[in-house]
Amino acid sequence: MRTGPRGLVRGAARALAGHGRRSDRVELTERLRARERQQAVVSALGQSALASRDTRAVLDEAVRAVATTLDLCIVNLVERRPDGSQVFAATYGWDRRPGDPAPAAGGPATQVIRGGEPLLVRSTEALPAPARATMDALGIRSSAAVVVAGDDGPWGALVSHSSSPDAFGPDDLHFLQSVANVVAAVVARARVEHELQLRATHDALTGLPGRELLRERLNAALAAQAGPVGLLLLDLNGFKDVNDSLGHHVGDDVLRQVAPRLRTPLDPRDTVARLGGDEFAVCLAAPRSREELRDLTGRVSDVLHGTYETPFGPVSLGGSVGAALAPDHGLDAHTLLRHADQAMYRAKRESTGWAVYDPRLDEDPTTRLRAVNELRAAIAQGQIRLAYQPVVHLATGTVRSVEALARWTSPTRGPQSPADFVALAERSGLIGDLTDEILRLACEQAARWLTAGRGLAVAVNLPGSVLAQHGYARRLAQRLEQAGVPTRLLHVEVTETTLVSEAAVTTLRHLVDLGMRVLVDDFGTGYSSLGRLKQLPVQTLKIDRSFITGLAEDRADLAIVRAVVALADELGLDVVAEGVETRQVADALVALGVPRAQGYLYAPPLPAAELEARLDAWPSSRTAMTEIG
C-alpha cells in the first residue's frame, strides 16, 4: 500500500465536491485539513531523511512526528532481525532503548510483519492474552500498525497506540503508511551506506582489509608506541601464469587460500590485508624485535611456498616477502610501505624468498630523482598523449562524451602506467603542470571535434590538489574560452576523496555554475556519505569498475548497483558504469536501469584518430553527431 499523500488530498477534494449537505461539508473540510497537515509532516520528514547522515535521529523524528500529529501515547518502530527476533529501533512515549527486545507474542508488530497488511486494533480485547496484558498495563486502548518494507520481506513495523478506544481511521492508516515508506527509504539507504563502507575498507574477494584500512591500522600501531611495529609485504611468484592459463576464477580460488596460510605463523592481533592483485601485507601489531622479525619473515615465506588446490589439480607457487620495522626503518606508514616494497623486490630479484629492508642494499635515491626529472621533461617536451574512451548510451548506442586518459611512453623505460606517473607527479609537485598539459590537449581535441561537427564532450580527471588551488575555476574557464570550447563540452571527474576538501568543492561549485558537468569517479570506493551528495556540486555517479566487472555473477554487486541507481534517482543524479567488459554485464546494467556505460566491450581508450574511425563505423554514431552538432 503505497498511496502517496498527494493522492489522499486529491481524493478528499473529490469527495468534498460531491457532497451537498452542510454538516458533511464541515466534516470533510476538517478531514481535508487533517490530511494536509499529515502531508506536510510526511514531506518534512522526507526532507530531513534526505539531508541527515544520522539514521537513528530520523527514526526518532518519525515516531515523534506520528505521535504529535495523531496525538498518541506510544509510537514504536520495531525491527525484525534476521533470526526472527524483534527489537525496538525507535520509541516515543515508552522508556525502551533502540536494540531492546520488543515483545513478540501476538502483538500488533508481529501480526503486521507476518501478515504484511496494515492492522487496526479497535480494542485490546481482540488481542491474545500476553499482548493484551502488556497493552492494558500501559493504558493502551487501540492501536494501528503498518509494515516498513525491506529488501526481501518486511524490515519491521511502525506501531501506534492510543489511550482512546477505536482512535484510528483509514486516513490515519494512510498517513502511517506514508511515514513507514519514508522510514523504509532511510533504512535502505543506511544499509547501502554500510555495505559501501565495508567494500571501501575491505577487499571483496577475500573479505580482508584493503590498503586504506591497513594504513589506518599501521598508523594506529605506530601511534600506540607500544614497541617496534613490523610490516610485511608479499606477492605470489607464478600467480600470473595460473591466472592466465587456468582462468581468473582459479586465480581467485588461489588468492582465497593465501590468508589462512599466512595466519598460521602470525599472532591473532596482526592484520592481514590484500592490497590488490596478488599483493598482500601484514601489519604486525604485537611488538617484535629485529631477530623475531627476521625469523617470522622467513616462516611466512615458507608457508607461502607449496601447493595450492585448484579444480584442475594442485599448482605449486611461491612468494616473495619483504619486511620493514619501525622505528629502525621508518616512522610513518608511507615510508615503511615503501621500504618493505624495496625489500620485497630484492627478495624477488635475488630469488631468496624473503628479505628484511636494508638501507645499504635497497635505497637508491637516484632512481626516484631520475624518474621525476624524466617526467618533468616529458611534460615540457610534449611526450604526454591522451587516449579517449567513449561513454555509450546503452539503449541507443549513442556516444556523446569520451573520457580523456593520459598516456606516456618514456624514451628510456617504455610505456608507463598512468596510475604510477600521476601518483609520481602528485608526490613530486609536478601534478599542476601535468594536469595543465592534459587540459591543454583535451581542449584542443574538443575544439577540433567541435569544428568537425562531432561536438563530443571530453571528461578530464582532475585531482583534488589541483582543484583546491585558489582561482582555479576562473583559470579553467579562460582556458576553455581561449580554445573556443563551450563549457558544456568539458566534464570533470573527481574522486570521493576530493569532495571532502572544502576548497575543491568551492571550485567545483563554480565549474557547475559555468556549465560544466561534474562526475564522481570510482563511486563506491570512498567513504562518502550518500546523504551528503545532495549538497554537493555533482551531477553524475560513475560506479567503480570493481562493482561492475563481475556484475553478471555477483549478487552482492548487483544489490549495490541496484541501490546506487535507486539512490541516484532519489537525488536526481545521473549514473554511468565503468569497466563493462562483457555483453552479460551490459544486459544486467540495462535491466537495472543504468543508462550509460564505458568499457572494453565498446572500446578501449584510443588515440583520437582511431576513436573517430570507430565512431564512424559505429551503428548509431550518426545520431550522435547530429544530436550534438
Residues binding ligand C2E (CB under 6 A): 389, 405-406, 418-419, 422, 438, 461, 463, 521-522, 545, 579-581, 598-600, 605
Residue 441 interacting partner from ligand C2E, Ca ion, none (CB closer than 5 to 8 Å by kind)? none
CB contact set of 188 (below 8 Å; sequence gap of 6+): 150, 151, 563, 566
Rounded distance, CA 198 to CA 570, Å? 23
**Residue 111: C-alpha distances to residues 87, 103, 121, 280, 385 (Å):** 15, 12, 11, 50, 65
Residue 581 interacting partner from Ca ion, ligand C2E, none (CB closer than 5 to 8 Å by kind)? ligand C2E
Residue 599 interacting partner from ligand C2E, Ca ion, none (CB closer than 5 to 8 Å by kind)? ligand C2E
Question: C-beta of 229: minimal distance to ligand C2E in Å?
Answer: 30
Q: Are 446 and 483 a contacting pair, CB within 8 Å? A: yes
Backbone phi, then psi, for 416, in 5-degree steps? -110, 145
Question: C-beta of 386: minimal distance to ligand C2E in Å?
Answer: 7
Question: C-beta of 520: minimal distance to ligand C2E in Å?
Answer: 11
Residue 110 interacting partner from ligand C2E, Ca ion, none (CB closer than 5 to 8 Å by kind)? none
Question: Is beta strand 457-461 parallel, antiparallel or unpaired with respect to 490-494?
Answer: parallel
Rounded distance, CA 52 to CA 29, Å? 35
Q: Are 41 and 220 a contacting pair, CB within 8 Å? A: no
Question: C-beta of 280: minimal distance to ligand C2E in Å?
Answer: 21
Rounded distance, CA 185 to CA 42, Å? 13
Residue 401 interacting partner from ligand C2E, Ca ion, none (CB closer than 5 to 8 Å by kind)? none
Residue 69 interacting partner from Ca ion, ligand C2E, none (CB closer than 5 to 8 Å by kind)? none
- CB nearer to Ca ion: give 278 or 496: 496
Question: C-beta of 591: minimal distance to ligand C2E in Å?
Answer: 19
- CB nearer to ligand C2E: give 175 or 408: 408
To which residue does cell 561549485 refer?
A: 509
Single-letter residue type at 541: L
- CB nearer to ligand C2E: give 405 or 530: 405
- CB nearer to ligand C2E: give 111 or 461: 461
Question: C-beta of 419: minimal distance to ligand C2E in Å?
Answer: 4
- CB nearer to ligand C2E: give 76 or 546: 546
Question: C-beta of 579: minimal distance to Ca ion in Å?
Answer: 8
> Per the structure block, which three cell numbers stand in for 362?
635497497
Residue 406 interacting partner from Ca ion, ligand C2E, none (CB closer than 5 to 8 Å by kind)? ligand C2E
Query: Is the bond leading into 463 cis (omega within 30 degrees of zero)?
Result: no
Nearest residue to ligand C2E on Cβ basis: 599
Q: Where are the alpha helices (DSSP H) in 164-287?
A: 170-201, 211-224, 239-246, 248-263
Residue 463 interacting partner from Ca ion, ligand C2E, none (CB closer than 5 to 8 Å by kind)? ligand C2E
- CB nearer to ligand C2E: give 8 or 518: 518
Residue 597 interacting partner from ligand C2E, Ca ion, none (CB closer than 5 to 8 Å by kind)? none
Question: C-beta of 361: minimal distance to ligand C2E in Å?
Answer: 31
Cα Rg of the chain, angstroms: 30
Kind and range of the H or E run holding 555? helix 555-571
To which residue does cell 621500504 refer?
A: 339
- CB nearer to Ca ion: give 362 or 493: 493
Residues in the site for Ca ion, rule: CB under 5 A? Answer: 461, 493, 521-522
Torsion of CA 501, 330, 350, 247, to 10 degrees: -30
Output b/e per residue, 559-591; b: 16+ Cβ within 10 A. ebbbbbbbbbebeebbbbbbbbeeeebbebbee
Residue 418 interacting partner from ligand C2E, Ca ion, none (CB closer than 5 to 8 Å by kind)? ligand C2E
Question: C-beta of 583: minimal distance to ligand C2E in Å?
Answer: 12
> Pick from 45, 66, 172, 64: which is nearest to 119 by CA?
172
Question: Rounded to 5, what percent of the chain is helix, strand, coil?
Answer: 50, 20, 30
Question: C-beta of 95: minimal distance to ligand C2E in Å?
Answer: 51
